[in-house]
Structure formats: C-alpha cells, structure tokens
Amino acid sequence: MTETAHAAGGLAAASAKSAMSLFERYLTLWVALCIVVGIALGHVLPGVFHAIGNAEIAHVNLPVAALIWLMIIPMLIKVDFAAISKVRTHWRGIGVTLFINWAVKPFSMAALGWFFISYLFRPYLPADQINSYIAGLILLAAAPCTAMVFVWSNLSEGEPDFTLTQVALNDTIMVFAFAPIVGLLLGLSAITVPWETLLLSVGLYIVVPVVLAQLLRTRALSAAGPAGLDALLKYLQPLSLVALLTTLVLLFGFQGEQIIAQPLIIALLAVPILIQVYFNSGLAYLLNRTTGEAHCVAAPSALIGASNFFELAVAAAISVFGFSSGAALATVVGVLIEVPVMLSVVRIVNASRPWYENGTAVKRRARREGSDRSGHS
C-alpha cells in the first residue's frame, strides 16, 4: 500500500474514533422537526411542492438528484477502497458480516414485510400502498451502512482496520448486487420491477457518487495529505446534513395529508425495521462468538450487519416509486429510528463483552494467539 493510502487509512481510523456530532446524536429529533415543517409547508404551499415533484428529466427528479449527491458523496469520500487489501486479517468477522448484509438482511426484511405489512397490519394500512411499503423496507435492507459505521465502531471500541475493510468491501459489492437483490425481492413480492428506473438509480446514486467521491478523495490527499481530506470533509459535511434535512422536508411535504389522516402508519412500519435490526445484530454477534472472533471485531460486525445506508434507500425509493409513495415513507421511518435503536445495540454489545469473551471458541483463539506471540518473542 502506498504512503498516501496508509495516511488515508489513518485518517479514516481517526474519524472512526471521533465522537458523535450534535447532529448525529439528535438525528431522531431533527427528523421529527422535519416531519412537522414538511407537513406544514406541504399544506400551506402545495403548488411549490408539486412544481418540485414535476421537475423531472427522463424520470430523474433534478432537485432530488442534487440533494442526494450532496448527501451521499461526503460519506463515500471517507471510504478507503485500498483497505480491501486487508481482508484476510479479519476474515472470520468479514465473512460473518458479508453473510448477514447480503444473504440474511434483505431476505429477512422481505419476510418480515410480508408477514407484518401484507398480513398482520393490513387492516390498518391504506390498501393501495401495501406493496409500496414492502418495497421501501426491501430498499432499506438492501443497502448496508457506510458513514455511520465509523461512529458505531468507535462507540463499541471496534477495530478500525476491520471497520475500514468491511465498509470498502460492502460498497464495492453494493455497486453490483444492489439492483439484482432488490429486483429479485420485489419480484417475489409480486411488485412490478421498473428495471430501467432501478438501474438508472444504481448508476446515479451508487456508481457516479462512488467515482466522484474517490476522485475528490484522491485529489485532496494528493494536494495536502490527510489534512487536505479533513478540510474537504469539514467543508462538505454541513452541506450533506442540510441536504438530508431538506430531502426529508420535501418527503413529508408530499406525505403530510396521508400521515395526518393515519398517524399509526409510522408506528406500524417501524415494527419490522426494529425486529430486523435486533435480529441481524444478534445473529452476527453470535456467529462471531461461535467462530472465535475477537470482541473488537464482533461488535462492529454486529452493528454493520444491523445498520442501513438510509440515504441511498431514500434516494432509490424516491427515484423508483416517487415522493408520494409508501416506499419513500417506509425508508424515512428507517431514518427516524436509526440512531436510538443503534445506540441501544451499542449498549448491548458493550455490556455483554464479559459474556462474549468467556465463549469457548473466543478463549481458545485468544490462548493460541498468545502462544504465537510468545513463540515469536
């Protein structure tokens, strides 16, 4: 690895050690404020919102596309794809996390959506939005978390190199796997798959942002090293936060009447999301313990397995199904509960550390590594 890549890795590791920002800590509060502001503005200025909704070229809403790029690109700039070279160092934890992210999470969410939304809660939800809600849940689960992973890893005293490697690997896989998995699960749910729009969304909101982010990252590192990258992120991060909040205001401006008429919808949509978070994090944690992986890897593995790239999910839902769709609302519910739920998972993995490290496989591996270090000394 080059010196620049090492420096970049060090920077990302440092960012993993940073505390949650004021915005991140109170994300649920900001989203709640966006709900109120969006509903109020949608009622007072319906013409403005309709004009924004109609500002499309080739099924791409231009204001939303600009906002989403501002949301996603700063997060992708933090990702060091050179970290993939370290994949063998923590192969057990990486294998578990990949299994949870790509073989369990999307499919478990689809199953939970079918059970709760299509069956159990059907009498309490608008009949014409049932499939759209399920589609939103699938989109939410098909995109593994990126930027917030560094925060969760820090709070659980996670291994920075593992976190970097896992994020880089997930983002690489996402470029190729997001559309096929979403298309498969939508098809199994008897939801018409708009393949052209879905593939366009992948290009616009995954491929292009990844390329632009890495170009900006490389340019900043080449010009001024890690300090230059820090300065770039310091400049872009506020824009990213403003873009997220503006997108949410627009969403709730379109969804306002439906939410006022049936406020229970948000609570019902939160149920499968909550179950999925705790199920996936718990399964990842147990699998890591069974394989003997260290707690500093198992904790972020569980958190990465549970968390979602909600910015991408919101973008894809708006692009594929529209502002006023149930899919867009379902992804926003994911944003609403993300921080408090993930903080509860952090508390669980931290509090259970003694139990985890008392596992037979974990103790066996720790003894073996201790013997290896003694033999080399």
Q: What is the pLDDT of residues 78-115, one digit of tens each?
A: 777 776 776 677 788 999 999 999 999 999 999 999 99
Q: Mean pLDDT for the chain?
A: 81
Task: Report the alpha-carbon distance of residue 331 to residue 140 in Å, rounded.
Answer: 6
3-state secondary structure of 60: strand
Which whole number is the average pLDDT over 128-132? 92
pLDDT of 67 > 60? The answer is yes
Q: Provide the token pair at 313.
A: 């999910």
Task: Report the alpha-carbon distance of residue 328 to residue 313 in Å, rounded.
Answer: 8
Q: Provide the token pair at 227.
A: 């300090």
Highest mean pLDDT among 39-43, 46-50, 161-165, 253-257: 39-43
User: Quick one: pLDDT band at residue 15, thresholds 50, 70, 90?
Assistant: very low
Helix axes 326-351, 148-155, angle to 10 degrees: 20
Predicted confidence at residue 7, as pLDDT, reads: 38
Lowest mean pLDDT among 177-186, 278-287, 308-317: 308-317
User: Quick one: pLDDT band at residue 4, thresholds 50, 70, 90?
Assistant: very low
Closest C-alpha to 167, from 303, 296, 21, 350 = 303
Predicted confidence at residue 87, as pLDDT, reads: 64
Which whole number is the average pLDDT over 211-236? 88
Predicted confidence at residue 280, as pLDDT, reads: 94
Q: Provide the token pair at 1.
A: 């690895």
Contact 259, 333 (CB under 8 A): no
Which whole number is the average pLDDT over 248-263? 75
Highest mean pLDDT among 6-10, 70-74, 134-138, 368-372: 134-138
Burial label for 215, CB within 10 Å (0-12, 13-18, 19+), is exposed
pLDDT of 201 > 80? The answer is no
Q: What percent of the chain has pLDDT over 90?
A: 26
Which whole number is the average pLDDT over 120-130? 92
Which whole number is the average pLDDT over 5-33? 56
How many Å is the maximal CA-CA distance in the chain? Answer: 74
Helix axes 105-113, 264-291, angle to 10 degrees: 150
DSSP characters over 70-94: HHHHHHHHT--GGGGGGTTTTHHHH
Contact 276, 109 (CB under 8 A): yes
Count of CB atoms situated within 10 Å of the CB of 365: 16
User: Quick one: pLDDT band at residue 157, thresholds 50, 70, 90?
Assistant: confident
Closest C-alpha to 157, from 313, 293, 265, 17 = 17
Lowest mean pLDDT among 45-59, 218-232, 354-368: 45-59
Q: Is the dihedral of CA 240, 242, 243, 247 positive or negative?
A: positive
Closest C-alpha to 301, from 264, 249, 356 = 356
User: Quick one: pLDDT band at residue 146, thresholds 50, 70, 90?
Assistant: low
State pLDDT tens for residues 288-330: 999 999 999 999 999 988 888 877 888 788 878 887 789 988 9
Domains of the chain, with CATH numbers?
A: 3-365 (1.20.1530.20)
Which whole number is the average pLDDT over 341-350? 90
Q: Provide the token pair at 172.
A: 């690489």
pLDDT of 13 > 60? The answer is no
